[in-house]
Amino acid sequence: MQTDLPPPFTDAAADPEAVLRDIEALGGKLRAVRDSVGKVIYGQRDVIDQTLISLLSGGHLLLVGLPGLAKTKLVETLGIVLGLDARRVQFTPDLMPADILGSEVLEEDAAGRRAFRFIPGPVFTQLLMADEINRASPRTQSALLQSMQEYHVSVGGKRHDLPRPFHVLATQNPLEQEGTYPLPEAQLDRFLLQVDVGYPDEAAEREMMIVTTGSRQPQAERVLTAADLQAAQALIRRVPIGDKVVDAILTLVRAGRPDSTDVEDIKKHVAWGPGPRASQALMLASRARAVLQGRLAPSVDDIVALAGPVLRHRMATNFAARAEGVTVDSVIAKLCTKLA
């Protein structure tokens, strides 16, 4: 385990050259984070990158994939590599809000005086995995999603602030829908990105099969601390972004709205389009992706690469589209052609 960690990245550097130096230093450390996670997670490079992009942007992430694709392992590994306190909650239909947020208990001291004491729930952590979030009732979902938005909980009329940084990585099984409660559109919008987790390629699966069944398995090492991550999140907001990229974001998002688009297929196939949070997500995520790849500023290519994760849970096709076999991803691909 690494112990001699570097100091956190500087934040509030007014000198543009100092900001650029910090961005370059952050890029190198992020690649070390990616390599450390890659020692444990096989064949999911895009998923790892998009997860890091979400965390660097200060957002929450929705992972959609079949069981057994290392989603839980990814969260556990990120907790180690980023020096975060990580916990996991398995969502079930009988899970209550108090099981996540915490509750007050009545205690009596030696003098016979009684008072309520708040016992924090698992949401009081820095990296929370909400496993199969759509299995819990809407009431429980709302309790978690309110915490995601406001970064505090209220129990017994008292406010309790959550640790910082605070991120939720939620999972959904795309096939098993029996006994589930799909998240409403307004709640899906709270997630910065939706990442679809697929099967690893043959070479990665071969390596995973051999390494994970052996007597010695590689271990991830800590690269950053919670303070480093918070400083990196502040630095991401200082990454310069050009007018051309800003215009590309506006063009993409506004073209996805049936009432304001000039694309006939969007008017025909889209029930509702992305709101302003999609534009904000693309602004932050494109900066984080550029730094992760060793660049000092984002480009239009970053917007095209992030269009799917940012928009797929912020748009919905109508009945006519489903009857014709048109999917949200195919609609997003058509939108991206406007940026070429």
In terms of Cβ atoms closer than 10 Å to its own Cβ (0-12, 13-18, 19+), residue 323 is exposed
**Full pLDDT tens readout for the chain, 340 residues:** 343 444 444 444 457 778 888 888 888 889 889 888 888 888 888 899 999 999 999 999 999 888 777 788 888 899 999 999 889 988 888 888 888 888 888 877 777 788 878 888 899 999 999 888 888 888 888 888 888 888 888 887 788 889 999 999 998 877 666 556 777 777 788 899 999 888 888 888 898 888 888 778 788 888 889 999 999 999 999 898 999 999 999 999 998 898 888 888 888 888 888 989 999 999 999 999 999 998 889 999 999 999 999 999 998 888 888 888 888 888 898 888 878 6
Amino acid in the structure at residue 29: K
pLDDT of 1: 38
Is-cis flag, bond preceding 200, omega within 30?
Answer: no
Roughly what angle, to the nearest 10 degrees, separates helices 45-56 and 276-292?
Answer: 110
Compute the distance between CA of residue 4 and CA of residue 26 in angstroms, rounded to an integer.
17
Give the CA distances from residue 189 to residues 37, 152, 182, 183, 272, in Å, rounded to whole numbers and listed in that order.
Answer: 27, 19, 13, 10, 13
| pTM, entire model | 0.87
Are the C-beta atoms of residues 53 and 288 closer than 8 Å to each other? Answer: yes
| Residue corresponding to tokens 């099969």 | 209
